[in-house]
Amino acid sequence: MLDDVETVAGDDARALENMRTALAVVDELEPTPSVRATAGEAPPEERAAARARARLYADYGRAAESIRFRGETIHRLTALNRLATEPDPTTRRQLFESMTSLWHAVDGDGDDSSPYRRLLRVSAARWADHGSPIDANAAGLGLSAGSFEGALHDMLAAWRSVGPSGRIEPWDYRYVVGAAARRLDPLVPVGELQPLNDRYLAALGADPTGLRVSYDILPRPDRPPVATAFTIAMGAWAADQPRDGSWTPRPPWVFATYAEGGLGNLLELLHESGHAIQAAAIRTRPAFLEFPDASSAFLEGTADVLGWDVDEPDWQRRWLGDGADRHEAVMSRYGAVMLDVCWALFEIELHRNPSRRPNDVWTELTVDGLGIEPHPEWSWWAVRGQLIDGPGYLANYALSAIMAAAVRARIAEIRGPWFGGDPGWYPFVADALFVPGASRPPAELLESFLGGPLTPEALLADLRRSG
């Protein structure tokens, strides 16, 4: 066994480091039983925090799938999607407040004994000692050091110039940006989510049957509270798999819970399918099949490249028979992105100043950035499971938006629009960004594909098309 990365060189050294990084993440989530402790093992307080994090995540999952509203039990995603379509403001407020049990599961009464705040103190100390995973992911995409936080504020400033005018209540935000959902949700019943997904992937040359993608997306007990996609088995680990020709990829799976249809759930499903087809395209040695944490934003970006198609009016007209207007489409896409921007800034600030009350930080960000009326009495930020099981992870969605906008603009420049179907789309994108797996750094892949370093300019240009 190799005990020192210095005993190997070049590509082998990178492979060894990649394996160690990936295994460390797995061990942190669920330590391997009966394995001897090592010198690099996490200290007792971090191991205790990991156990507390797992318990809180389980509590969050139970609360997320058992929200009570007017005698009905609904899922978190269902509640959030209904906020975009419910026409009555009083009902929207009641629906919003029905998630109090979910907020309380995460933040308690918002004081120092809050479950979230106890875990925050541990992760803030870790970031101070070992560096921020947000900075690592920004650097992994090739963004210049220290530029990401400023870019987030630039995105919010651009949003304020095209987004909702005046102050709005938090229960009205999704409705104000949800005109496209109200127009198109009736065209996407829950039974059509996967057939639409499958037909579109096939039209892009990524037939999920041929790629052996499996889906488990209908409600059932004990499913994960956050949608996810991953690969199982070891099909690509055979040492004799050829670089060209026949290949046996690890079969990808997509897990989610869709009790209802709608545009938002269709977008999320295509996003998760984006993860699946990325995994199915990898052709590399086993050591580079998995990605380190610092590549998470890259993986989310590859998924958004596909998922964002749902917000394109031309795509909607082709696949749904009707489409939003340009302003509605921009509000639909960037209304969600700007919430991710606020969550990114929320985690940055709280890990920099963990003694601050999360409700106060969230209120400042959403008042200034989104024009939402202040409600510091509510922990309405506490609806995302990633805040619990992956501190800093939500910033990857803001980073992925920057990447997706740039990659999509580049694909359109090279190949033209693909929303009506383009069988060469998947082979083209896969060769450029997916096939190498983790054998090439994401920043290198992106710079080669984009013809220069990644910047937020494509996103800002896309956002301003509403004007």
- All domains in the chain, ordered by first residue: 133-464 (1.10.1370.30)
Q: In Å, how far are 41, 296, 323, 460 from 314, measured between CA atoms?
A: 52, 30, 7, 20
Q: In Å, how far are 94, 266, 294, 310, 389 from 399, measured between CA atoms?
A: 33, 21, 12, 19, 19
Closest CA to 409 of 281, 301, 298: 301
Local confidence band at 239 (pLDDT 50, 70, 90 cut-offs)? very low
pLDDT reading at 240 higher than 70? no
Of the chain, the percentage scoring pLDDT greater than 70 comes to 85
The three-class DSSP label of residue 215 is strand
Does an H or E element contain 259, and which? none
Q: In Å, how far are 5, 250, 271, 343, 404 from 323, measured between CA atoms?
A: 54, 36, 20, 29, 21
CA angle at residue 288 from 287 to 289, to 5 degrees?
Answer: 100
- Contact predicate 345/365, CB 8 Å: yes
- Contact predicate 376/360, CB 8 Å: yes
Higher pLDDT residue, 187 or 237?
187
- Contact predicate 103/382, CB 8 Å: yes
What is the residue-averaged pLDDT of the chain? 88
pLDDT reading at 227 higher than 80? no
Mean pLDDT of 96-120: 96
pLDDT reading at 158 higher than 70? yes
Amino acid at 312: E
Closest CA to 216 of 189, 251, 255: 255
Predicted TM-score of the model (pTM): 0.88
pLDDT reading at 99 higher than 70? yes
Alpha-carbon dihedral 173, 378, 148, 263, rounded to 10 degrees = -40
Query: Could you write out the DSSP letters of every residue in 428-459?
Result: HHIIIIITTGGGS-HHHHHHHHHTS---THHH
* DSSP structural state of residue 251: P
pLDDT reading at 452 higher than 70? yes
Amino acid at 234: M
Q: Which residues pair with 231 in a beta bridge?
A: 252
pLDDT for residue 346: 98
The three-class DSSP label of residue 37 is coil
pLDDT for residue 25: 54
Structure tokens of 18? Answer: 């990649």
pLDDT tens-digit series, residues 162-182: 988 889 999 999 999 999 999
- Contact predicate 433/380, CB 8 Å: no
pLDDT tens-digit series, residues 399-414: 999 999 999 999 999 9
